Amino acid sequence: MKHITALTLAALMASTAAPALAQEQGDILLGLGLGWIEPGNGSNTLVGKVDADGALSPTITFEYFIADRVGIELLAAWPFKHDLNLNGGDIGETKHLPPTLSLQYYFTNSSSITPFIGAGINYTYFFDEETNNLGGASLDLDDSWGLALHAGADFALSEKSALRADVRYIDIETEATVGGTNIGDVDISPWVFNIAYVMKF
C-alpha cells in the first residue's frame, strides 16, 4: 500500500503540466498496473470465523469507448494468492482470478486530471486450494458472481498516456467445503487498490 500511495503522489506531480487524456468514441485504453486486494472482515461459519489475508499482483485493463467519455472496461490480473485463516490461525491458501467487466463514465474538465466512476459485474474463479492444520482435509471454494464498483482518476502524461490511481469494491462471496462438508458462505468482498500506466490507441 505504501508503494501504491507513493506512485499516486508521483503521478499527481507529473501530470500538472501535461495535456488532458481525452476519451472519445472508438478510443482504446490499455492499462498495465499493480493491484493490492484487501479482503473484508470474513465470515462466521460452522467451524468458526474464516478470513483471508491481502495480496499483491500485476493487473491489466482493456477499455473500449462506446461513446465520448463512456467506456466498457475489462479487468484481468495475474492470480492473487491468499493465506486463509480460521479463528486467527492459518488453515491454508488459495489462488483466484477476478475478471471484472465495468461500464465507466469520465468527467471532462480543462485540467490534466480526469476522474471517473464505474459499475459492473465480477466473476471470481478460485483454484489451487491447499490446507494446513486441518488433518489432511481438503478445501474447496466455489466460484463467485457479484457486483463491482469502481472510481479513480487518470493523471495525464501526454495526449496518449497517463498514470491511473483507482479503487474498486467487489462483492465476492464463496461457499466453502472442508473434507466434503459444507461449512457455509465466506464473504471476502475486498477493496482493490490499483496504480497503472495507461496507453491510448
Quick one: which of 96, 80, 150 has its CA closest to 121? 150
**The pLDDT value given to residue 50:** 78
**The pLDDT value given to residue 15:** 43
**The pLDDT value given to residue 3:** 52
**The pLDDT value given to residue 91:** 78
Backbone angles phi, psi at 160, to 5 degrees: -120, 5
**The pLDDT value given to residue 80:** 92
Each domain of the chain, given as residue ranges in start order, spans 2-200
pLDDT digits (tens, 9 = 90+) for 158-168: 989 999 999 99
SS3 content of the chain, % helix, strand, coil (to 5): 5, 65, 30
Ranges of the chain with pLDDT below 50:
11, 14-16
CA distance 194 to 166: 5
**The pLDDT value given to residue 11:** 47
**The pLDDT value given to residue 4:** 52
**The pLDDT value given to residue 90:** 78
CA angle 95-32-6, nearest 5°? 90
Residue that is written with C-alpha cell 482470478 in the block? 97
CB 56 within 8 A of CB 39: no
**The pLDDT value given to residue 46:** 62
**The pLDDT value given to residue 111:** 82
Count the neighbouring beta carbons within 10 Å of the beta carbon of residue 159. 12
User: Class for domain 2-200, per CATH?
Assistant: mainly beta
Lookup: cell for 50: 474464516
